[in-house]
């Protein structure tokens, strides 16, 4: 690269960066100046963009102007304090600074050598987080982009641990038993995707029955495993969830762990959303039984104010994970160090982002105390919201709400299930059309439920009150 070209890359960087900094600052000061849900039609953004990359360089000024003109109007604002859909998440500004630094360094955390500080910070952050939520000290933590990929990796390790030689010989064209994975209807769908990718097959993902609180029934699990064994099938793994996606129910991990152990089956615990709550002493019990499991996933990018993406997988025996994935091509053999962790050996990816940096910044910025205060606030707000719903004639809370998510609906006397579903869907659409509030829905055992999730750093009581008012007004209008 010539000096002139190189210079052109950093020319005006200070002004451009200052411009972005000012924009970010005003954004974080008041993200609610934007509608939480954008008012764009499908295809509108695509149509506003040129059909091909520019031939000639463009000034930053013009690029940024288009960011504001074309992109921003089409953004769903997850940082908006009235974002109550799915799992509400938000980016701590301090993590944005870490992301800028990580992008600047642009290291690939594949080998220890490709960035020793990034590799060792990852080890330490997994230790810090593990201690905060009560992961057994001798487990190993690895950062992935998402819980889906962490969960897939854990199940790949489980498959390898069966000793069927699938890694070497594949699963086709030879006599390999049918593998089975045990979940419930409330387990997150990534387990089914993992079953597809691992050659287990969707029909071998077994739905174990739940109790009235939407939690896996240990007796049903026990029976399902026994029956499969009798049919010559091979149980591969049980996936228990702490904080299911729809209702945030908690599967009974201690009992499930006992059964998994008795049958010598891998237990993966999915605590993607709720695991962070174990930072609270009064919620630590949710981790009971995890020390008897084989792997656990928890997402700092869900309820720990770390921006997408950052998901932690902990495994009891890291050699099983390495055994599933380690494949060292010749060109990375330029790493003579011994006794170091080369993170590329623990998953599909070779190059990996420097995600530990933002986790480090966030944990230090808030401190454990600051995080606890915010989680407690979210849980208390959800409880208060549920009490308002429960006290209002015609409204009902549809599931226990151990964390910060409430499932509820309106159902007037005499309304059929189908009418209640249509009515609540209309309420949700009206609330979301306002652009002020964003809620989502789910189905719980076939029952249509509205769902309010609290988890945003900026959400205050007034925002939750506004949501309840808007929901009631929409219901009154729809009646």
Window of 17-25, 166-174, 242-250, 451-459 that interacts with ligand PLP by CB under 6 A: 242-250
| 440 lines the binding site for ligand PLP (CB under 6 A) | no
Q: Judged by CB under 6 A, which of 114, 184, 311, 459 binds ligand PLP?
A: 311
Contacts of 251 (CB under 8 A, 6+ apart): 184, 215, 216, 240, 241, 242, 244
Residue placing its CB nearer to ligand PLP in the complex, 213 or 476: 213
Confirm or reject binding of residue 147 to ligand PLP (CB under 6 A). Answer: yes
Residues 363, 365, 367, CA angle at the centre, nearest 5°? Answer: 55
C-beta of 272 vs 296, nearer to ligand PLP:
272
The C-alpha atoms of residue 409 and residue 351 are separated, in whole angstroms, by: 46
φ, ψ at 35 (rounded to 5°)? -65, 140
Evaluate the omega torsion of the peptide bond into residue 309 and state whether it is cis, within 30 degrees of 0.
Answer: yes
* Only segment of 115-123, 156-164, 225-233, 243-251 that touches ligand PLP (CB under 6 A): 243-251
CB of 106 to ligand PLP, least distance (A): 23
Those residues with Cβ within 8 angstroms of residue 401's Cβ, 6 or more apart along the chain or in another chain: 248, 382, 383, 386, 407
| Residue number, 147 or 162, with CB nearest to ligand PLP | 147
Residue 468 buriedness (CB in 10 A; 0-12 / 13-18 / 19+)? middle
Q: Which residues have C-beta within 8 Å of that of residue 102, sequence separation ≥ 6?
A: 353, 354, 355, 357, 358
Residue 453 dihedral angles phi and psi, to the nearest 5°: -115, 130
Nearest to 267 by CA among 198, 204, 314: 314
Closest to ligand PLP by CB, 142 or 272? 272
User: Which CB atom, from 273 or from 354, has the smaller least distance to ligand PLP?
Assistant: 273
Which of these segments, 52-60, 143-151, 356-364, 440-448, binds ligand PLP (CB under 6 A)?
143-151
| Residue numbers 81-100 binding ligand PLP by CB under 6 A | 87
Nearer to ligand PLP, 180 or 190 (CB): 190
Cα–Cα dist 249/208, whole Å: 15
Instruction: Find the binder of ligand PLP among 188, 355, 411, 472 (CB under 6 A).
Output: 188
Closer CB to ligand PLP, residue 166 or residue 450?
Answer: 450
Residue owning tokens 């304090």: 81
Of the candidate residues 241, 249, 342, 432, the single one contacting ligand PLP (CB under 6 A): 241
245 binds ligand PLP (CB under 6 A): yes
At residue 77, the 3 state secondary structure works out as coil
Q: Tell me how far, at minimum, the Cβ of 214 lies from ligand PLP, in Å.
A: 13
Half-sphere exposure (Cβ direction) of 261: Cα atoms closer than 13 Å = 12
Verify binding: residue 405, ligand PLP, rule CB under 6 A: no
> Which residues of this protein are in contact with ligand PLP, per CB under 6 A?
87, 146-148, 188, 190, 241, 243-245, 270, 272-273, 299, 311
């Amino acid at each position: 690269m010539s000096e002139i070209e190189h210079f052109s890359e950093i020319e005006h960087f200070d002004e451009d960066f200052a411009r972005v900094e000012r924009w970010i600052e005003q954004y974080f000061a008041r993200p609610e100046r934007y509608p939480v849900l954008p008012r764009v039609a499908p295809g509108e953004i695509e149509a506003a963009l040129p059909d091909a990359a520019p031939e000639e360089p463009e000034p930053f000024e013009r690029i940024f102007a288009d960011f504001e003109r074309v992109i921003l109007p089409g953004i769903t604002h997850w940082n908006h304090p009235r974002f109550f859909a799915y799992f509400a998440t938000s980016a701590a500004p301090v993590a944005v600074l870490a992301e800028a630094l990580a992008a600047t360094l642009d290291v690939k955390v594949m080998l220890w050598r490709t960035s020793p500080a990034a590799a060792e910070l990852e080890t330490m952050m997994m230790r810090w987080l593990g201690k905060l939520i009560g992961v057994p000290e001798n487990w190993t933590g690895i950062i992935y982009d998402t819980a889906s990929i962490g969960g897939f990796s854990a199940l790949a390790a489980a498959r390898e641990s069966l000793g069927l030689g699938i890694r070497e010989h594949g699963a086709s064209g030879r006599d390999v038993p049918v593998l089975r994975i045990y979940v419930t209807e409330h387990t997150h769908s990534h387990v089914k995707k993992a079953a597809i990718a691992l050659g287990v097959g969707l029909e071998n993902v077994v739905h174990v029955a739940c109790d009235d609180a939407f939690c896996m029934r240990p007796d049903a699990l026990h029976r399902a495993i026994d029956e499969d064994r009798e049919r010559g099938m091979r149980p591969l793994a049980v996936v228990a969830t702490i904080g299911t996606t729809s209702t945030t129910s908690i599967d009974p991990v201690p009992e499930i762990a006992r059964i998994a152990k008795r049958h010598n089956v891998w237990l993966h615990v999915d605590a993607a959303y709720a695991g962070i709550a174990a930072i609270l002493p009064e919620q630590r019990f949710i981790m009971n039984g995890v020390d008897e499991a084989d792997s656990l996933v928890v997402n700092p990018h869900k309820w720990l104010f770390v921006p997408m993406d950052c998901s932690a997988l902990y495994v009891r025996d890291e050699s099983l994970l390495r055994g599933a994935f380690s494949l060292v091509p010749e060109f990375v053999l330029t790493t003579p160090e011994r006794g170091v962790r080369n993170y590329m050996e623990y998953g599909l990816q070779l190059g990996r982002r420097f995600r530990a940096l933002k986790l480090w910044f966030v944990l230090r910025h808030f401190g454990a105390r600051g995080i606890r205060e915010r989680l407690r606030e979210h849980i208390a707000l959800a409880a208060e919201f549920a009490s308002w719903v429960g006290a209002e004639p015609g409204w009902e809370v549809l599931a226990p709400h151990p964390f910060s998510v409430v499932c509820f609906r309106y159902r007037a006397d005499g309304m059929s299930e189908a009418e209640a579903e249509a009515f609540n869907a209309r309420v949700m659409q009206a609330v979301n059309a306002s652009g002020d509030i964003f809620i989502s829905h789910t189905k719980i055992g076939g029952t249509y439920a509205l769902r309010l999730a609290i988890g945003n750093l900026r959400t205050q009581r007034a925002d939750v009150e506004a949501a309840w008012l808007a929901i009631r007004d929409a219901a009154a209008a729809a009646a």
